[in-house]
Amino acid sequence: MTHRCLKCLKYTMCVANFLCFMSGVAVMGFGVFLMVNFKLTALTPSLAKFNIANMLLISGIIIACVSFLGFLGALKENRCLLLTFFLLLFFLLLVELIAACLLLLYEQTISEWVERDLNNGLKEANGSHADKFHSEWDLVQKMFDCCGVHNVSDWGVNVPDSCCLQDCADLQDRQYRPMGCLDKMRSWFEENFLTAGISVIVLCIIEVLGMCFAMTLFCHISRSGLGYKF
C-alpha cells in the first residue's frame, strides 16, 4: 500500500512539474512577444530593465528550469535533483515573502519613485525623440483612459491625440481625458490588490506542497537505498 502511494506521489510530481514547465515556457514566450512588439522603455526610464516583458521572460525561465528539475528528479528518483528542487523552491518562497514584505513596508517610497520616473519619461517623450516615445504613451493612455502623469497639463503644448476623449480634429471643442495615468494606475493596483494577494498565497501553497512532495520522495528513496547516493 505504501509503495503504491509513493508511486502515485512520484507520478503526481511528474505530471504537476510537467504542467508547470509548459506554463513556464508559455510565460517565457509571452515575455518574448511583448519584448518584440511592445518596448515600453519610455514610461519609466530608470526601471526600463524591470518592465513587464523582462519580468515575464525571467519568471518563465525560472519556472521552466525549476519544474524541469523537479520532473527529472521525480522520474529518475534522483536524490540529488530532488534535494536541489526542494532548496530552490524554499529559496523562491523566501524571496517572494521578503519581496511582499518590502512592498508593504516601502509602499509610499515606491509610489514616489514611480511618479518621479513617469515624470522623467514624459519629459523625454516631449524631447528630441518624441515620435519614438509617443507611441508608448499612446498605448498606455488609451489602455488606462488617462492623460499625462497627473493631467493633460503635463504635456504642455505637445498634447498627443491619445489624450482626446473623441476626435482631436476640432481644436475648439477638444475634450481630454480627465485623470492622470499615475492615479489610474494606482486605482488599477488597488482594484486588483485582492486578486494579486490571493494569487501569491496560492503560489506559496503550491510551492510548499512541492517541497513536501519532494522531501517525502527523497526520504523514501533514502530508506529504500534507491537513487544516486551522495
- CATH code of the domain containing 177: 1.10.1450.10
Per-residue model confidence (pLDDT) at position 43: 60
Per-residue model confidence (pLDDT) at position 108: 83
Q: What's the structural domain count of the chain? A: 2
Q: Is residue 139 part of a domain?
A: yes
**CA-based max dimension of the chain:** 83
* Alpha helices per DSSP H over the chain: 2-37, 52-76, 79-105, 107-125, 130-144, 181-191, 193-224
In terms of domains, do 180 and 199 share one? no
In terms of domains, do 56 and 146 share one? no
In terms of domains, do 167 and 196 share one? no
CB 69 within 8 A of CB 85: yes
Q: Which residue type sits at 118?
A: L
Query: CB neighbours of 118 closer than 8 A, spacing ≥ 6?
Result: 43, 44, 149, 181, 182
Extract the residue ranges of the chain whose pLDDT is less than 50: 227-230
Per-residue model confidence (pLDDT) at position 229: 44
In terms of domains, do 92 and 37 share one? yes
Per-residue model confidence (pLDDT) at position 66: 93
Q: Which residue type sits at 115?
A: E
- Could you read off the pLDDT of 37-57 as tens digits, one per residue? 765 555 665 555 556 777 888
In terms of domains, do 20 and 76 share one? yes
In terms of domains, do 22 and 89 share one? yes
- Work out the mean pLDDT of the chain and round it to a whole number: 81
In terms of domains, do 216 and 165 share one? no
Per-residue model confidence (pLDDT) at position 42: 53
Q: Is residue 229 part of a domain?
A: no
- Could you read off the pLDDT of 116-133 as tens digits, one per residue? 888 887 887 776 555 555
Per-residue model confidence (pLDDT) at position 228: 46
In terms of domains, do 60 and 119 share one? no
- Rounded Cα–Cα distance for residues 225 and 203 (Å): 33
Q: Is residue 210 part of a domain?
A: yes
User: 13 is in which domain, residue-wise?
Assistant: 2-100+189-224
Q: Is residue 135 part of a domain?
A: yes
Q: Is 211 helix (H, G, I), strand (E, B) or coil?
A: helix
Query: CB neighbours of 13 closer than 8 A, spacing ≥ 6?
Result: 70, 71, 74, 210, 213, 214, 217
Query: CB neighbours of 131 closer than 8 A, spacing ≥ 6?
Result: none
Global pTM reads 0.77
Per-residue model confidence (pLDDT) at position 227: 47
Per-residue model confidence (pLDDT) at position 183: 87
